[in-house]
């Protein structure tokens, strides 16, 4: 009985996302892209640092469509929202190093290219990312970023950015849900 009481007390002190954090096909835990409000993030993930991103357009500021973000520095999770009809609605979730979240199939930050292709199937190489592929098959291309060239795999409403362009050693270092 003493052990059960100790486990119950530990569960109370853990924040909700430390207990379980699941990447779904629509968002993260109970946060749904294009549906959940920015204030819902606090209920599911606890206190996070907030920011308002500068946009290079006066129109955005006039109409109130500027971009907001909530970041969990130590958990590698960033929620982005834009104001729509007076509400700050989540439109993008980015997972980076340190994020404990994973899909029901076990895909997470640090998963290998092989792990991802076992779940999604072999990606179709698209050397022109502007040419759309069918959304139900994984689409792979190279993307120029600050640190150099990266391998990016898109699938439905996900971008998986890999740590290397060599598929034998590539690991997921960024997941974007949009």
pLDDT in tens, the chain (178 residues): 333 322 222 222 334 445 479 999 899 999 999 999 988 988 888 878 888 765 555 545 555 556 778 887 668 999 988 888 888 899 999 999 999 999 999 999 999 999 999 999 888 887 665 555 555 678 888 888 887 888 999 988 899 999 988 999 999 999 999 9
Task: Report yes or no: 100 and 17 within 8 Å, Cβ to Cβ.
Answer: yes
Task: Report yes or no: 21 and 93 within 8 Å, Cβ to Cβ.
Answer: no
Q: Where are the domains of the chain?
A: 26-95, 113-177
How many angstroms separate the CA atoms of 27 and 157, rounded? Answer: 9
Helix (H, G, I), strand (E, B) or coil at 75: helix
DSSP code of residue 93 = E
List alpha helices for the chain, DSSP H: 2-13, 16-19, 38-45, 58-63, 113-120
How many angstroms separate the CA atoms of 98 and 75, rounded? Answer: 5
């Amino acid at each position: 009985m003493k052990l059960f009481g100790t486990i119950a007390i530990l569960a109370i002190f853990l924040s909700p996302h430390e207990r379980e954090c699941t990447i779904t096909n629509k968002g993260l835990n109970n946060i749904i892209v294009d549906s959940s409000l920015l204030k819902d993030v606090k209920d599911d993930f606890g206190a996070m640092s907030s920011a308002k991103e500068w946009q290079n357009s006066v129109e955005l500021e006039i109409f109130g469509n500027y971009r907001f973000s909530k970041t969990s520095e130590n958990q590698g999770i960033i929620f982005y929202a834009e104001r729509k009809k007076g509400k700050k609605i989540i439109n993008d979730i980015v997972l980076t190093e340190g994020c404990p979240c994973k899909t029901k199939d076990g895909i997470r930050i640090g998963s290998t290219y092989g792990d991802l292709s076992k779940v999604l199937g072999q990606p179709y190489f698209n050397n022109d990312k502007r040419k759309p592929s069918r959304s139900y098959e994984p689409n792979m291309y190279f993307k120029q970023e600050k640190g150099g060239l990266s391998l990016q795999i898109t699938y439905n409403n996900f971008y998986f950015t890999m740590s290397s362009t060599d598929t034998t050693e590539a690991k997921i270092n960024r997941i974007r849900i949009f």
